A and B are shown apart, each in its own frame.
Chain A
């Protein structure tokens, strides 16, 4: 019944099993087991396509914390299914690829465990209807990404890349959580579906805009939007299958998914439109502009991913304009941008996945990814070259590849949005198509660089680690499949469009769908001689021109020196936080017991004493006192004198004798207080303690005069008296106010219940026997502790972790 919820948890289950498989099945690459999970999930999810494309949605709930309305609700509509298919489909291909990429000598058991952890978390993100559950899965993807980036944790750069990605994405995640809580408190539900259904009631709330911005912050950090994009290039330290999977095809799309999911909530607001579109379009430009200057193939692809994510993001922003107008025949036109965004989301996963795998193949074959050392691989690696060309041309937006279709649709949307007469688009709208077009030229340039620099030109074997050769055919299967999809989607785009994207559109524009709008666009490769075609032709012409004249204008990058980059700023902030917090911490963490004791006692005085004074809660009535005989008075007086004299004891022997007087005095008091057991125990223990002190004194130095200053002494005295006064007042107050009846009458039946006439013994040996047993264990541990502290000598520390 709840197979969908189960689907989310199967990868987690696999993550738990894989370490054991890895340990006990040495002969088989553990990836062959791991691959079963995404393959199975893909088949299962694919079997749901007909139902979803008929407009159904699947909802299954398992209660988790029902009293707070937090339940694991798996919710599958077109949008979730699209993402889920990408996660499982690309996941299967990546695992297949990784089987050949990672040798069994690497700790692949942990690798596949983390990968499964990620897969489950990511499925959870796209299928959760509950915002808080979504948040939990969201952070789990950040954590598994952290673990995977640091897979080669011996390398310093891996560790730093992992740390950077974690800090940025988790900070965003936490702000998103705050946004979710705001949305939840506005609409008093955690269910996204219910929020969407009642969106009208919250859009005037004063927290509406803050909540929107906080949620967007989460989405932008996760999807590497400017200025948070800096973690993605550093994340490329991960093994290439991870880069292909997490950092291009799936995890970085989580932010985009979030924007899509919340479009029906926040869309139609000018702030949302400009934040999403503006950040997206600028990221598109900035990413593609910086990709051109990269010399590492993976860094190039990282910036390219940033750029493409910005493009998808901006399209979701433009699509949201339709919600401002409400449903009408004119406004439907703007939803085309959202359609294009979803289509490009799928396309990007196919061609970028293939390109990352190509880089992995090249790196694996020749041992470098530096384009200054590569070249001329076309004749030696023809299959790899073909895939790279297909992927790059799709990325550049050329026919006959799927990127062409979505790029054209993107151009159409940018042009249409300039004609909208709201949100100040009349003045600023024209910037959108211009930036988009310029960015596309740079996209063309870096796509060309990617292919030409790697595969054409002279072959420089002396600069390579190994001579070039085609890899194991198994490593080519996945990129070939993705490359074929790139072409297939070009010729049959409507298979995807009608079955997945159209239902997804209904989820993003529910108000439109309920009016019966046709939200699915029929995708054509040929639109006739329209502006978008001329834009593409312009991109090619200017792209070729810029590529050829690269030498002459590359000086432009010197306008953005390293000193002023966001990366430097990030490092600066981090260093400052570390330095300042060290300074502050060192101020109060003095490594001196007395200071810590002062903090504790001062807090005690202020908190307990302060509460009594400020709340005026304190009152006490002195209880009816038992009479005091002369003898008792004398004992107590002696103890007070002994206690105070300890403070002035010059020799340690005096101190211990006075301490013994206290101990034996208490024994006498126990006798007087009708507690013979206590008196006996106290006498014995006091005797042993005194002996112990004397033995210890044999080894310890004589008490010196305390060379503390007068000031410190008076502070100490002040605190001590403060503690004593607060303690005494509380103890007196407690005596006068008995809130509950004593439970001790129960123990008076000790003979019937436990067969013992001595109630204290019965309590210790029977009613609370476990307590006594554990007490004996404590004594045992203390005994072992005493023995080891005396006997065991410390060994010199060795084996520090390598830090290069």
Chain B
């Protein structure tokens, strides 16, 4: 299971990297979101999967709660990042009329 999840994360990282390298701002933003997913999966996998019960006292031998706490924080922060990037893309498009990164290079003499 752990190996499979890790490989899934690897595939997602590959996809995210490819998206980050593309020209379109929207693809870049989706890329960051997918990268976050991949990171979460790896953190879970590294801690070991399905090794116990849910991490609640009295439910028996629990799984490791620490990665879950870390991921919970990360989900929320990832959301904030996505939101900010989307709004930035929106403003960029409004002000400059393009969402293509190769056209957003500014003036050569600046």
User: Does A701 lie within 8 Å of B99, measured CB to CB?
Assistant: yes
| A723 interface contact, C-beta 8 A | yes
Minimum C-beta distance from B108 to chain A (A): 9
- Chain B residues, CB < 8 A from A632: 1
Per-position contact with B for A673-688: 1 when CB-CB < 8 Å, else 0? 1111110011001001
CA–CA, A349 to B4, complex, Å? 81
| A583 interface contact, C-beta 8 A | no
Minimum C-beta distance from A485 to chain B (A): 57
User: Does B93 lie within 8 Å of A699, measured CB to CB?
Assistant: yes
Residue with the greatest number of chain A CB neighbours at <10 A, chosen from B23, B78, B93: B23
- Chain A residues, CB < 8 A from B83: 692, 782, 786
Minimum C-beta distance from B25 to chain A (A): 8
- Chain B residues, CB < 8 A from A675: 44, 54-55, 63, 68, 71
Q: Which one of A716, A744, A786 lies within 8 Å of B64 (CB-CB)? A: A744
Give the A-B pair count, Cβ closer than 8 A.
256
| A458 interface contact, C-beta 8 A | no
User: Does A725 lie within 8 Å of B10, measured CB to CB?
Assistant: yes
Nearest chain B residue, comparing its CB with the CB of A749? B57
Minimum C-beta distance from A773 to chain B (A): 11
- Chain A residues, CB < 8 A from B51: 626
User: Which 9 A-B pairs give the minimum distances between C-beta atoms?
Assistant: A724-B14, A728-B10, A759-B65, A782-B80, A763-B69, A626-B1, A720-B17, A720-B18, A591-B105
- Chain B residues, CB < 8 A from A744: 64-66
Minimum C-beta distance from A691 to chain B (A): 11
CA–CA, A769 to B7, complex, Å? 33
CA–CA, A703 to B21, complex, Å? 15
Q: What would be 8 A-B contacts, judged by CB atoms less than 8 Å apart?
A: A625-B1, A625-B3, A689-B33, A689-B82, A699-B93, A725-B10, A768-B69, A782-B80
**B-facing residues in A651-710 (Cβ within 8 Å):** 652, 655-656, 659, 662-663, 666, 669-670, 672-678, 681-682, 685, 688-689, 692-693, 696, 699-701, 703-704, 706-708
CA–CA, A748 to B79, complex, Å? 29
| A717 interface contact, C-beta 8 A | yes
Q: Which one of B9, B18, B63, B78 lies within 8 Å of A673 (CB-CB)? A: B63
Minimum C-beta distance from A173 to chain B (A): 34
Nearest chain B residue, comparing its CB with the CB of A628? B1
User: Does B76 lie within 8 Å of A681, measured CB to CB?
Assistant: yes
User: Does B57 lie within 8 Å of A748, measured CB to CB?
Assistant: yes
CA–CA, A685 to B37, complex, Å? 12
- Chain B residues, CB < 8 A from A778: 77, 80
Minimum C-beta distance from B34 to chain A (A): 6
User: Does B58 lie within 8 Å of A757, measured CB to CB?
Assistant: yes
User: Does A627 lie within 8 Å of B75, measured CB to CB?
Assistant: no
User: Does A731 lie within 8 Å of B11, measured CB to CB?
Assistant: no
CA–CA, A590 to B102, complex, Å? 9
Nearest chain B residue, comparing its CB with the CB of A715? B21
User: Does A597 lie within 8 Å of B71, measured CB to CB?
Assistant: no
User: Does B1 lie within 8 Å of A764, measured CB to CB?
Assistant: no
**A-facing residues in B41-69 (Cβ within 8 Å):** 41-42, 44-58, 62-66, 68-69
Q: Which one of A676, A707, A779, A790 lies within 8 Å of B76 (CB-CB)? A: A779
How many residues in A have their beta carbons less than 8 Å from beta carbons of B?
Answer: 94
Minimum C-beta distance from B103 to chain A (A): 9
User: Does A643 lie within 8 Å of B15, measured CB to CB?
Assistant: yes
Hey, which bits of chain B sit against chain A, CB under 8 A? 1-15, 17-28, 30, 33-34, 37-38, 40-42, 44-58, 62-66, 68-69, 71-73, 75-84, 86-91, 93-95, 99-102, 104-106
| A232 interface contact, C-beta 8 A | no
CA–CA, A666 to B47, complex, Å? 16
Minimum C-beta distance from B16 to chain A (A): 8
- Chain B residues, CB < 8 A from A673: 44, 49-50, 63
- Chain A residues, CB < 8 A from B99: 700-701
Given A673-B49, A689-B33, answer yes or no on A747-B65 (Cβ-Cβ < 8 Å).
yes
| A54 interface contact, C-beta 8 A | no
CA–CA, A639 to B13, complex, Å? 13
User: Does B82 lie within 8 Å of A692, measured CB to CB?
Assistant: yes
CA–CA, A794 to B78, complex, Å? 27
CA–CA, A685 to B19, complex, Å? 21
- Chain A residues, CB < 8 A from B22: 594, 706, 708, 716
Q: Which one of B5, B10, B26 lies within 8 Å of A636 (CB-CB)? A: B5
**B-facing residues in A106-163 (Cβ within 8 Å):** none
User: Does A643 lie within 8 Å of B11, measured CB to CB?
Assistant: yes
- Chain A residues, CB < 8 A from B26: 652, 655, 700, 703
CA–CA, A719 to B20, complex, Å? 11
- Chain A residues, CB < 8 A from B56: 757-759
Given A700-B89, A731-B9, answer yes or no on A663-B37 (Cβ-Cβ < 8 Å).
yes
- Chain B residues, CB < 8 A from A640: 8, 11
Q: Is the interface of B mostly helix, strand, loop or mixed?
A: helix
Minimum C-beta distance from B26 to chain A (A): 6
CA–CA, A732 to B37, complex, Å? 17
- Chain B residues, CB < 8 A from A759: 55-57, 62, 65
- In the complex, besides A721-B14, A731-B9, 14 extra interface pairs with C-beta distance below 8 angstroms are A639-B12, A644-B11, A688-B79, A689-B33, A700-B26, A700-B93, A700-B99, A701-B99, A704-B24, A706-B23, A727-B38, A728-B10, A758-B55, A758-B57
- Chain B residues, CB < 8 A from A716: 18, 21-22
Given A592-B101, A731-B45, A768-B69, answer yes or no on A647-B6 (Cβ-Cβ < 8 Å).
no
**B-facing residues in A704-757 (Cβ within 8 Å):** 704, 706-708, 716-717, 719-721, 723-725, 727-728, 731-732, 734-735, 742-744, 747-748, 750-751, 757
User: Does A717 lie within 8 Å of B28, measured CB to CB?
Assistant: no
CA–CA, A763 to B90, complex, Å? 37
Minimum C-beta distance from B6 to chain A (A): 5
- Chain A residues, CB < 8 A from B91: 789-790
Per-position contact with B for A315-346: 1 when CB-CB < 8 Å, else 0? 00000000000000000000000000000000
User: Does B17 lie within 8 Å of A693, measured CB to CB?
Assistant: no
Nearest chain B residue, comparing its CB with the CB of A601? B17
Given A666-B37, A674-B53, answer yes or no on A728-B9 (Cβ-Cβ < 8 Å).
yes
CA–CA, A672 to B64, complex, Å? 14
Per-position contact with B for A454-491: 1 when CB-CB < 8 Å, else 0? 00000000000000000000000000000000000000
User: Does A703 lie within 8 Å of B27, measured CB to CB?
Assistant: yes
CA–CA, A676 to B55, complex, Å? 9
Minimum C-beta distance from B94 to chain A (A): 7
Q: Which one of B4, B24, B40 lies within 8 Å of A706 (CB-CB)? A: B24
CA–CA, A592 to B26, complex, Å? 15
Residue with the greatest number of chain B CB neighbours at <10 A, chosen from A707, A731, A751, A782: A731
User: Does B62 lie within 8 Å of A748, measured CB to CB?
Assistant: yes
- Chain A residues, CB < 8 A from B68: 675, 677-678, 760
Given A592-B101, A623-B2, A673-B49, answer yes or no on A685-B79 (Cβ-Cβ < 8 Å).
yes
User: Does A622 lie within 8 Å of B3, measured CB to CB?
Assistant: yes
